[in-house]
Structure 1
């Protein structure tokens, strides 16, 4: 509940209190699940090392029961999968996916979480047709007995993102609006921030740059409070695109007369690139870092600084090589 209303620090505190004070007298299945939730919060901030260390501290003797061992294996695999998706390691991701899909886990929520990770990986690979089919398949698997509004919003956002990236932003607009409306009515604030970011991406594709800036800037403090570095990086990246879009429109309509104002928007974009890059770096997201370096090299070239443009282009190529090595 705390995570869904965007109070990640309270979610973290609850898992810590449970682990320290109530682990002994609770069902061990609850302890394994709460440990996973605790590690999830660490992983979304890029603290993978401590996350894996905590999962590995779960007593091996207590995992002899098939049910507990099965859950622990699945949860540990999800954490590894999240990291390898960020690192763009296709071989490792496919290997972990094959292992997780073979685990017979009864909890629908956890199986759906695996589906979300798989869809995210497919989007990052640029296979939008397959990703869209996977979204539809996940949506069909939701029945009245396992319905969850969070999952509904997540699937709407994923579908809107896929449509926006595949050149159909008009179709994505209504889905993003619907997701935001449901999240707002349900008071699921973290999903509301994600829905608004999805809507902002659609607006940028429709060249509504000022509206996108207003939307994202209005929720940026709440996004930062969520401590989800993937969402933080994405929000900053959207602000980069929107500010550069405004600068481009000023140049096309006013020409050289727009130089002072245009420079202000370009400088804002440069600051947001650095913030996005830092957040992507925290979670080891190579694709995000590569995109930010490409954007910075482009901006430096447009502002007439070829030396810096070449430096950032070299860093971009280095990141590309690292992505190729991981794949």
Structure 2
């Protein structure tokens, strides 16, 4: 069948069902199910803030005749022993000729309520009708469906009408033998006129009229242009809401439906644009975008020109061309103001604010000087405009951005929580699908507060309860955050397994593939550093080189891991230069306070490693002060550990012990095994130092020394255990050497020798694991 503009065999079957409803052939118990079925397949659903979004936004226009069986077979009719399916199929097979099909559409006019403009006398017409006849208002959903069907049928040319009739015969054919009653009605064949004339399959005239029906595929999908438009609109909604690509099965289906039809629908170019953009095919994306808006500008959709510029700006930014992106977004803002499109204007300003925060250095390099001064002023402006335009989605996102700004600048945590709960209230009240961003922000907040179990719980909640409705970006970020939480406890294999659980279709999107690739590389790099596998570290660092379009958080993690590698390798000069360069970049970009504290701690740790702890004292103290004000508890505990190490180096063992005694219990709740191990190691050094200050000549001094040494050994064992969990080979061997030195200082040469041999065994086993991993 050639592609019609509106009518399909499915819609003809729905019209038969509408006729049954208007003739009062349906019992009252079946009214709601039948009407729901008709409306769900004839009216395009629109999202409403008053009801939840349907699970299937697009109602498939290619549903088979079996769909009617599922709805009607369970409903009893007014005739004893018969179901509504029997009544429906009886009327379907009464359309037994092309003339009967014409009569069906002609009789549909009698289903509509009369108006004053009708030429016939409405009162006289009502007297001829049964008293229980239901008339449809012309403006009702069913009335609109019937009127449009009649109009589209009258517009059909004769050849197209014949093809519609043939398609209806093929669609109805599977019901010919369902019941004996239907078999009797269907005995006349596809056309009662042919049966009356004695024409049978094989005769020349019959073959000319209906011979092609045997060659048609009964499973072939029949769609109208209206169905194509609804299908493409659903695909666009999914692409924009989830941020993913078209699945392979759907891509093949669209190609099979659109290809043979010869249609050139402008929405298909926009679908191709999103799919090519997410796949990293920028040439095809630009071509499809230009094709779409070439069609749009030739029609009445010229007002949508600003959306072409908006998509162009986003695409240019993803491609790393920030100068072109700024030029396009400025033109978008100007055009949206001219056309008074507040939705496009507010979204453009929100996107510009997001880009200036995510890529500040690149945006400044491209000439962007800020939207409204400070970032907070910009968010206040966006929030006000979103309230005025009642753009609840934008308002919810702006509130979350305010919470992110409060966390990034180290401001009050209660204020950030206030913004987050305001956004949550708005999301629930207006039924906004913003759960992913809200939960990820909660996970970030609790991670900064040191409540790792709550942070992981929000990620698990997102994945298990909202995984089907959140965007693919939020879904992947939740998986990656869970993987990073797993490696904090030394479960590297579990973290990598979580990344492998991500749907393979996500790798078809370039941005998502790169994100997963970087996360996997960072986990492997951290593991290789702790295993002292320098060959693997070199290869991983050469492959993990962030560019201008890389996510800023991942770029920082890569640079931080590179600094850890240089420090662990003993390349202190290069590590110091890398720290200074990264700190300068973070300061210039007004980056997240967590990242800036991380560089301060890296510098203080480096000073301790090179034997100049006094130079790192002020740096570590400043990091601890800022972390305490911003409530960045893991950073605070790390800073206190560095301070304790410096105090131990300066001989202030009692002060270091008191500091660590107040920090360790809190750090244990964070479940960062490497942090806990470093704190225990520093605490053991404090007790060793205190033991050295005791006077062994007196009995009390000897007891105090023995107590301090035993506590030192206890904390050495705990540090070694935690280092072993994180596979930190060099640190674990360092704790064993401490045990050997303590045994030697006590004069137990045999035990010292055993610990030395144990050190060699652990080191060789660790190197063997590295070799086996490489093989």
Query: Does TM-score exceed 0.5, indicating one fold?
Result: yes
| Counterpart pick for 2:534 among 86, 90, 110 | 90
SS at match of 2:747: coil
- Is 1:286 equivalent to 2:729 in the alignment? yes
- Is 1:261 equivalent to 2:704 in the alignment? yes
The equivalent residue for 1:313 is 756
Tell me if the contact between 1:160 and 1:175 (Cα under 8 Å) persists in the aligned partners.
Answer: yes
Report the Cα distance in structure 1 between the residues aligned to 2:751 and 2:611, rounded to whole angstroms. Answer: 32
Deviations 1:114-164 (A, max 9, x none): 111111121111222211111001111115545111111111111111112
Q: Which has the higher contact order (CA 8 A, sep 6+)?
A: 1
| Counterpart pick for 2:509 among 65, 68, 86 | 65
**Structure 1 residue 104, shift from structure 2 partner:** 6.3
**Structure 1 residue 319, shift from structure 2 partner:** 2.9
Tell me if the contact between 2:546 and 2:555 (Cα under 8 Å) persists in the aligned partners.
Answer: no
Report the Cα distance in structure 2 between the residues aligned to 1:58 and 1:45, rounded to whole angstroms. Answer: 21
Q: Structure 2 unaligned runs (5+)? A: 1-444
Report the Cα distance in structure 2 between the residues aligned to 1:144 and 1:10, rounded to whole angstroms. Answer: 33
- Equivalenced residues, count: 324
The equivalent residue for 1:303 is 746
Report the Cα distance in structure 2 between the residues aligned to 1:280 and 1:143, rounded to whole angstroms. Answer: 33
| Counterpart pick for 1:277 among 717, 720, 723 | 720
Report the Cα distance in structure 1 between the residues aligned to 2:495 and 2:669, rounded to whole angstroms. Answer: 20
Change (3 A) 1:108 1:146: farther
SS at match of 1:2: helix
The equivalent residue for 1:122 is 566
**Structure 1 residue 97, shift from structure 2 partner:** 1.0
| Counterpart pick for 2:600 among 131, 152, 156 | 156
Report the Cα distance in structure 2 between the residues aligned to 1:244 and 1:61, rounded to whole angstroms. Answer: 56
Tell me if the contact between 1:70 and 1:105 (Cα under 8 Å) persists in the aligned partners.
Answer: no
Report the Cα distance in structure 2 between the residues aligned to 1:10 and 1:122, rounded to whole angstroms. Answer: 33
The alignment yields a C-alpha RMSD, in angstroms, of 1.6
Report the Cα distance in structure 1 between the residues aligned to 2:733 and 2:520, rounded to whole angstroms. Answer: 28
| Counterpart pick for 1:202 among 646, 659, 668 | 646
Change (3 A) 1:136 1:205: same
- Is 1:167 equivalent to 2:611 in the alignment? yes
Report the Cα distance in structure 1 between the residues aligned to 2:486 and 2:684, rounded to whole angstroms. Answer: 27
Change (3 A) 1:310 1:295: same
SS at match of 1:256: coil
**Structure 1 residue 322, shift from structure 2 partner:** 4.3
SS at match of 2:449: coil
Change (3 A) 1:105 1:237: farther
Report the Cα distance in structure 1 between the residues aligned to 2:720 and 2:658, rounded to whole angstroms. Answer: 21
Tell me if the contact between 1:74 and 1:103 (Cα under 8 Å) persists in the aligned partners.
Answer: no
**Structure 1 residue 51, shift from structure 2 partner:** 1.1
Report the Cα distance in structure 2 between the residues aligned to 1:234 and 1:241, rounded to whole angstroms. Answer: 11
**Structure 1 residue 249, shift from structure 2 partner:** 2.0
Q: By percentage of residues, which structure has more helix?
A: 1
The equivalent residue for 1:81 is 525
Q: Which moved more, 1:68-77 or 1:94-103?
A: 94-103
Report the TM-score when normalising by structure 2. Answer: 0.41
Give the 5 Å matches for 1:131-280.
131-143=575-587, 145-250=589-694, 254-257=695-698, 258-280=701-723
**Structure 1 residue 320, shift from structure 2 partner:** 3.3
Report the Cα distance in structure 1 between the residues aligned to 2:546 and 2:635, rounded to whole angstroms. Answer: 30
Report the Cα distance in structure 1 between the residues aligned to 2:607 and 2:673, rounded to whole angstroms. Answer: 24
Q: Structure 1 unaligned runs (5+)? A: none
Give the 5 Å matches for 1:33-48.
33-48=477-492
**Structure 1 residue 173, shift from structure 2 partner:** 0.5
**Structure 1 residue 94, shift from structure 2 partner:** 1.0
Deviations 1:14-38 (A, max 9, x none): 1110110111111111111111100
Report the TM-score when normalising by structure 1. Answer: 0.95
**Structure 1 residue 102, shift from structure 2 partner:** 5.9
